[in-house]
Amino acid sequence: MKWTFTPDEFTHVWATETRQDRRPYPINLAPRGIETSENAAAALKLEERFPLNGDPDLTGALKFLVRSDVTTITAFGDRFVDGEQQPDPVLALGVVFSHWGAAVFSTDSTVTVVSGSARDAVKYLVKAMGSVRPGQLTPMREPRKAVLFPEPGQWQETETSRRAKRLRLALRRPIDARGYLTVTVSPEDPMSPPPQHRTWLDFSGDGRYILSVGDDMALSPTSMDQLAKYLMKLARVR
Protein backbone atom coordinates (compact mmCIF):
# COMPACT_ATOMS: atom_id res chain seq x y z
CA MET A 1 0.00 0.00 0.00
CA LYS A 2 1.12 3.56 -0.65
CA TRP A 3 0.24 7.00 0.71
CA THR A 4 1.58 10.40 -0.37
CA PHE A 5 1.38 13.52 1.80
CA THR A 6 2.52 17.09 1.80
CA PRO A 7 5.10 17.84 4.53
CA ASP A 8 2.38 19.52 6.64
CA GLU A 9 0.09 16.50 6.30
CA PHE A 10 2.79 13.98 7.16
CA THR A 11 3.95 15.91 10.21
CA HIS A 12 0.37 15.93 11.50
CA VAL A 13 -0.34 12.29 10.67
CA TRP A 14 2.94 11.11 12.19
CA ALA A 15 2.34 12.94 15.47
CA THR A 16 -1.31 11.83 15.61
CA GLU A 17 -0.72 8.14 14.95
CA THR A 18 2.59 7.57 16.75
CA ARG A 19 2.26 10.13 19.56
CA GLN A 20 5.77 11.26 18.70
CA ASP A 21 6.55 14.81 17.70
CA ARG A 22 9.96 13.97 16.27
CA ARG A 23 9.83 12.39 12.83
CA PRO A 24 12.12 9.41 12.12
CA TYR A 25 15.67 9.88 10.84
CA PRO A 26 16.45 10.95 8.16
CA ILE A 27 12.94 12.27 7.39
CA ASN A 28 13.37 14.66 10.32
CA LEU A 29 15.92 16.55 8.19
CA ALA A 30 13.18 17.60 5.74
CA PRO A 31 10.97 20.66 6.35
CA ARG A 32 8.16 19.98 8.83
CA GLY A 33 5.75 21.92 6.65
CA ILE A 34 5.31 24.40 3.86
CA GLU A 35 2.60 26.60 5.34
CA THR A 36 4.10 29.24 7.64
CA SER A 37 1.05 31.20 8.82
CA GLU A 38 -1.57 30.00 11.30
CA ASN A 39 -4.39 30.86 8.90
CA ALA A 40 -2.84 28.84 6.08
CA ALA A 41 -2.22 25.89 8.39
CA ALA A 42 -5.79 26.04 9.72
CA ALA A 43 -7.13 26.06 6.17
CA LEU A 44 -5.62 22.61 5.64
CA LYS A 45 -8.12 21.16 8.16
CA LEU A 46 -5.65 18.43 9.08
CA GLU A 47 -7.47 17.18 12.18
CA GLU A 48 -10.68 16.85 10.20
CA ARG A 49 -9.07 15.15 7.21
CA PHE A 50 -6.72 12.86 9.13
CA PRO A 51 -8.38 11.69 12.37
CA LEU A 52 -6.69 9.17 14.66
CA ASN A 53 -6.86 5.67 13.10
CA GLY A 54 -8.82 7.05 10.18
CA ASP A 55 -6.98 4.56 7.95
CA PRO A 56 -6.04 1.44 9.95
CA ASP A 57 -3.54 0.32 7.30
CA LEU A 58 -1.73 3.66 7.49
CA THR A 59 -1.82 3.54 11.29
CA GLY A 60 -0.22 0.10 11.21
CA ALA A 61 2.50 1.22 8.79
CA LEU A 62 3.43 4.27 10.87
CA LYS A 63 3.48 2.31 14.13
CA PHE A 64 5.68 -0.27 12.40
CA LEU A 65 8.10 2.48 11.35
CA VAL A 66 8.43 3.70 14.94
CA ARG A 67 9.17 0.31 16.51
CA SER A 68 12.53 0.05 18.25
CA ASP A 69 13.13 -3.66 17.58
CA VAL A 70 12.97 -3.65 13.78
CA THR A 71 15.85 -3.70 11.34
CA THR A 72 16.36 -0.29 9.76
CA ILE A 73 17.94 0.89 6.52
CA THR A 74 18.55 4.61 6.11
CA ALA A 75 19.60 6.55 3.02
CA PHE A 76 20.77 10.14 3.36
CA GLY A 77 22.50 11.97 0.53
CA ASP A 78 22.79 14.98 -1.73
CA ARG A 79 22.55 15.58 -5.45
CA PHE A 80 24.86 17.89 -7.39
CA VAL A 81 24.74 19.75 -10.70
CA ASP A 82 28.06 21.08 -12.01
CA GLY A 83 29.48 20.71 -8.53
CA GLU A 84 26.68 22.68 -6.87
CA GLN A 85 24.71 20.94 -4.13
CA GLN A 86 21.00 20.85 -4.91
CA PRO A 87 18.32 21.81 -2.36
CA ASP A 88 16.38 18.52 -2.47
CA PRO A 89 18.35 15.80 -0.61
CA VAL A 90 17.76 12.05 -0.63
CA LEU A 91 15.97 11.15 2.61
CA ALA A 92 14.62 7.61 3.02
CA LEU A 93 14.01 5.06 5.76
CA GLY A 94 13.10 1.42 5.40
CA VAL A 95 12.19 -0.97 8.23
CA VAL A 96 11.84 -4.74 8.05
CA PHE A 97 10.84 -7.48 10.46
CA SER A 98 10.52 -11.07 9.30
CA HIS A 99 8.70 -10.86 5.95
CA TRP A 100 7.08 -7.48 6.65
CA GLY A 101 8.37 -4.09 5.60
CA ALA A 102 7.58 -0.40 5.35
CA ALA A 103 9.39 2.63 4.02
CA VAL A 104 9.07 6.39 4.06
CA PHE A 105 10.89 8.82 1.78
CA SER A 106 10.77 12.56 1.40
CA THR A 107 11.22 15.16 -1.33
CA ASP A 108 10.95 18.92 -0.99
CA SER A 109 7.20 18.77 -1.62
CA THR A 110 5.99 15.27 -0.69
CA VAL A 111 6.43 12.51 1.87
CA THR A 112 5.55 8.99 0.73
CA VAL A 113 4.82 6.00 2.96
CA VAL A 114 4.69 2.44 1.62
CA SER A 115 3.81 -0.82 3.34
CA GLY A 116 4.17 -4.38 2.12
CA SER A 117 6.80 -7.08 2.07
CA ALA A 118 10.31 -6.62 3.43
CA ARG A 119 11.76 -7.03 -0.06
CA ASP A 120 9.44 -4.39 -1.50
CA ALA A 121 10.38 -1.93 1.26
CA VAL A 122 14.07 -2.25 0.34
CA LYS A 123 13.30 -1.81 -3.36
CA TYR A 124 11.32 1.36 -2.64
CA LEU A 125 14.23 2.76 -0.65
CA VAL A 126 16.64 2.15 -3.53
CA LYS A 127 14.16 3.72 -5.94
CA ALA A 128 14.10 6.84 -3.75
CA MET A 129 17.85 7.21 -4.38
CA GLY A 130 17.16 7.78 -8.07
CA SER A 131 17.55 5.65 -11.17
CA VAL A 132 21.22 5.58 -12.21
CA ARG A 133 23.06 3.05 -14.36
CA PRO A 134 25.88 0.96 -12.85
CA GLY A 135 29.38 2.42 -12.99
CA GLN A 136 31.59 1.33 -15.88
CA LEU A 137 34.82 0.67 -13.96
CA THR A 138 35.74 -2.76 -12.65
CA PRO A 139 35.60 -3.30 -8.87
CA MET A 140 38.63 -2.03 -6.94
CA ARG A 141 39.86 -2.91 -3.45
CA GLU A 142 43.01 -1.48 -1.89
CA PRO A 143 44.41 -0.91 1.61
CA ARG A 144 42.79 2.19 3.09
CA LYS A 145 46.10 3.60 4.30
CA ALA A 146 47.67 3.33 0.83
CA VAL A 147 44.71 5.13 -0.77
CA LEU A 148 44.35 7.94 1.76
CA PHE A 149 47.98 8.44 2.76
CA PRO A 150 50.35 7.91 -0.18
CA GLU A 151 54.02 7.67 0.72
CA PRO A 152 55.51 11.19 0.62
CA GLY A 153 58.47 11.62 -1.67
CA GLN A 154 58.11 8.17 -3.21
CA TRP A 155 60.24 8.36 -6.36
CA GLN A 156 59.41 4.97 -7.85
CA GLU A 157 55.90 3.54 -8.10
CA THR A 158 55.18 -0.01 -7.07
CA GLU A 159 52.28 -2.18 -8.16
CA THR A 160 50.63 -1.47 -4.81
CA SER A 161 51.04 2.30 -5.12
CA ARG A 162 49.77 2.27 -8.72
CA ARG A 163 46.65 0.38 -7.73
CA ALA A 164 46.04 2.68 -4.77
CA LYS A 165 46.52 5.73 -7.00
CA ARG A 166 43.98 4.38 -9.49
CA LEU A 167 41.35 4.07 -6.77
CA ARG A 168 42.27 7.46 -5.30
CA LEU A 169 41.85 9.17 -8.68
CA ALA A 170 38.57 7.34 -9.30
CA LEU A 171 37.18 8.72 -6.04
CA ARG A 172 38.18 12.28 -6.94
CA ARG A 173 35.99 12.45 -10.05
CA PRO A 174 33.00 14.83 -10.26
CA ILE A 175 29.79 13.43 -8.81
CA ASP A 176 26.06 13.78 -9.46
CA ALA A 177 25.12 12.35 -6.06
CA ARG A 178 26.72 11.15 -2.86
CA GLY A 179 25.09 9.61 0.16
CA TYR A 180 25.30 7.28 3.10
CA LEU A 181 23.54 4.01 3.78
CA THR A 182 23.26 2.50 7.25
CA VAL A 183 21.82 -0.93 8.01
CA THR A 184 21.04 -1.71 11.66
CA VAL A 185 19.87 -5.28 12.25
CA SER A 186 17.49 -5.96 15.16
CA PRO A 187 19.01 -3.33 17.49
CA GLU A 188 17.48 -4.84 20.64
CA ASP A 189 19.03 -8.26 19.97
CA PRO A 190 22.43 -8.49 21.77
CA MET A 191 23.58 -11.03 19.17
CA SER A 192 23.03 -8.66 16.24
CA PRO A 193 26.05 -7.38 14.27
CA PRO A 194 27.11 -3.74 14.60
CA PRO A 195 25.52 -1.25 12.19
CA GLN A 196 26.86 -1.48 8.65
CA HIS A 197 27.78 1.77 6.88
CA ARG A 198 28.25 2.24 3.15
CA THR A 199 28.65 5.24 0.83
CA TRP A 200 27.01 5.46 -2.57
CA LEU A 201 28.54 7.60 -5.29
CA ASP A 202 26.98 8.55 -8.63
CA PHE A 203 29.91 9.74 -10.77
CA SER A 204 29.17 12.21 -13.55
CA GLY A 205 29.12 10.56 -16.97
CA ASP A 206 29.78 7.14 -15.45
CA GLY A 207 27.30 5.64 -13.00
CA ARG A 208 26.69 4.38 -9.49
CA TYR A 209 29.11 2.70 -7.10
CA ILE A 210 29.09 1.49 -3.52
CA LEU A 211 32.10 2.35 -1.37
CA SER A 212 32.88 0.33 1.74
CA VAL A 213 35.65 1.39 4.11
CA GLY A 214 37.46 -0.72 6.68
CA ASP A 215 41.08 -1.80 6.64
CA ASP A 216 40.51 -1.79 2.87
CA MET A 217 38.58 0.59 0.65
CA ALA A 218 36.39 -1.18 -1.90
CA LEU A 219 34.62 0.56 -4.78
CA SER A 220 32.09 -1.58 -6.65
CA PRO A 221 29.73 -0.65 -9.50
CA THR A 222 26.10 -1.46 -8.79
CA SER A 223 22.76 -1.45 -10.54
CA MET A 224 19.52 -0.68 -8.72
CA ASP A 225 18.65 -4.38 -8.60
CA GLN A 226 22.12 -5.33 -7.36
CA LEU A 227 22.01 -2.64 -4.69
CA ALA A 228 18.59 -3.80 -3.47
CA LYS A 229 19.84 -7.38 -3.20
CA TYR A 230 22.99 -6.21 -1.40
CA LEU A 231 20.97 -4.24 1.16
CA MET A 232 18.63 -7.20 1.63
CA LYS A 233 21.66 -9.35 2.42
CA LEU A 234 22.99 -6.84 4.96
CA ALA A 235 19.51 -6.53 6.49
CA ARG A 236 19.04 -10.33 6.51
CA VAL A 237 15.91 -10.14 4.39
CA ARG A 238 14.99 -13.49 2.90
Q: Is the pTM of this model over 0.85?
A: yes
pLDDT tens-digit profile of 94-134? 999 999 999 999 998 999 999 999 999 999 999 999 999 99
For residue 143, the tally of other CB atoms under 10 A from its CB is: 15
Q: Which residues of 97-128 are buried (b: 16+ CB within 10 A; e: fewer)?
A: eeebbbbbbbeeeebbbbbbebbbbbbbbbeb
The pLDDT score that the predictor gives to residue 117 is 97
Any idea where the domains of the chain sit in the sequence? 2-137+169-235
pLDDT exceeds 90 at position 184: yes
For residue 225, the tally of other CB atoms under 10 A from its CB is: 11
Q: Are strands 100-106 and 90-97 parallel, antiparallel or unpaired?
A: antiparallel
The pLDDT score that the predictor gives to residue 40 is 67
Position with higher pLDDT, 149 vs 184: 184
- Mean pLDDT for all residues in the chain: 93
pLDDT exceeds 90 at position 44: no
